[in-house]
Amino acid sequence: MRRLKAGPGIDWLIAEVIPETDFAQPIYGDMRTTAIVVAFLLLLSGYAALLLARRVTSPLEALSGMARSLAAGDLSQTVRLEGTDEIGNLASSFNSMAAELRRSFASIAESESRYRAFVADTTAGIFRFETRAPMPLEISEEDQVDWFSRHFMLAECNEAAVRMLGHRLERDILGMDPGVWLPRSDPSSTEAMRALVRSAFQVASLECARPSRDGRMQWLLASVTGVVESGNLVRVWVVLRDISDRRKAELVREATAVVLDAAGLNGSEAMRVWVLIHEQPDGTWGAAGQIVRYSDLVALAQEQTANA
């Protein structure tokens, strides 16, 4: 719009009208182009961000899956990720950890196999008593004897232990209390229990004479190791050896000495002395239930000396 004065009486105001579409259309076009470019750039950056995120998260998901597998016990899992960045180093560390776990578990399995083979093949009886309630070691001796008898149970043993206690199958004695080894009704077993308590369940050699299931006297030599945690007894390992033959041999030597002394002989003069150790039913004693008199033993010893 402008003013035009061409002469007297001519004072015009000249306005130029341009349609909106004529001047706005280029602007709108530029705006559309800009919007398209911006949208394209946003899509491109979003796609790039997605690719970058997948590049970062995919290895992490693989590592997370491997960690779950390891936690579930599947040690065969490995992650194949190449690179020298942090994620590649982390994957390499995971694979090294899995390999170390496999070696450790293989070593543990081998050790357990050797342990099982040793326990199965040894002639000693091996017991493991577990507790239903940990036993404080500061309580009195009488309370410890009672606690051990009531709250500990046989959790594991070998075949030698089963036979030693006069049973046939392991399941026959699993879950039983320590009375299966030291009957509380037997005075010597009770005294052995007290000795265990006084030693804090750490005994290298503990001898106990107990009645066997068939009524015969049985001598057992025990090595006991108690496991203590936070001042409480939680587990007891027992290794038993049946020394009945050795103890009976000692009785034989003692009886032989008595017979030789009764006959007025010494060991070099006697040709042979038999001593048979057999427990007989009440009312009979001697060999095969027959009474052997002192005079008969003396006469037999003197006769063998004369014939020597």
pLDDT confidence band for 151 (50 / 70 / 90): very high
Residues 138 and 186 in one domain: yes
The last residue of one of the domains, among 91, 121, 151, is 121
Number of domains the chain is built from: 3
- Orientation of helix 141-151 relative to helix 187-198, angle to 10°: 110
Distance of CA 47 to the CA centre of its chain: 53
43 domain residue, yes or no: no
Q: Note the pLDDT of residue 95.
A: 74
* Predicted TM-score (pTM) of this structure: 0.53
Asked whether the CA dihedral 267, 273, 279, 280 is positive or negative, the reply is negative
Does 137 have pLDDT greater than 60?
yes
**Domain, as residue range, for 179:** 127-242
Any bridge partners for residue 14, and if so which?
2
pLDDT confidence band for 146 (50 / 70 / 90): very high
169 domain residue, yes or no: yes
pLDDT in tens, 213-229: 777 778 889 999 999 99
Q: Note the pLDDT of residue 274.
A: 56
53 domain residue, yes or no: no
Task: List strand residue ranges (DSSP E) for 8-61, in order.
Answer: 10-14
The last residue of one of the domains, among 223, 242, 261, is 242
pLDDT confidence band for 281 (50 / 70 / 90): very low
Under a CB-based contact definition with an 8 Å cutoff, are residues 124 and 160 in contact?
Answer: yes
pLDDT in tens, 175-200: 999 988 888 888 888 888 999 999 99
Least confident of 73-82, 120-129, 178-187, 203-212: 73-82
Residues 256 and 187 in one domain: no
Residues 98 and 154 in one domain: no
Nearest C-alpha neighbor of 83 from the set 59, 63, 64? 59
Does 62 have pLDDT greater than 80?
no
Residues 133 and 202 in one domain: yes
Whole-Å CA distances, 176 to 140, 141, 155: 24, 22, 8
Cα(247)–Cα(230) distance, integer angstroms: 40
Cα atoms in the Cβ-side hemisphere of radius 13 Å centred on 60: 7
Could you write out the DSSP letters of every residue in 125-175?
Answer: EEEEEEEEEEEETTS-HHHHHHHHHHHEEEEEE-HHHHHHTT-S-GGGTTT
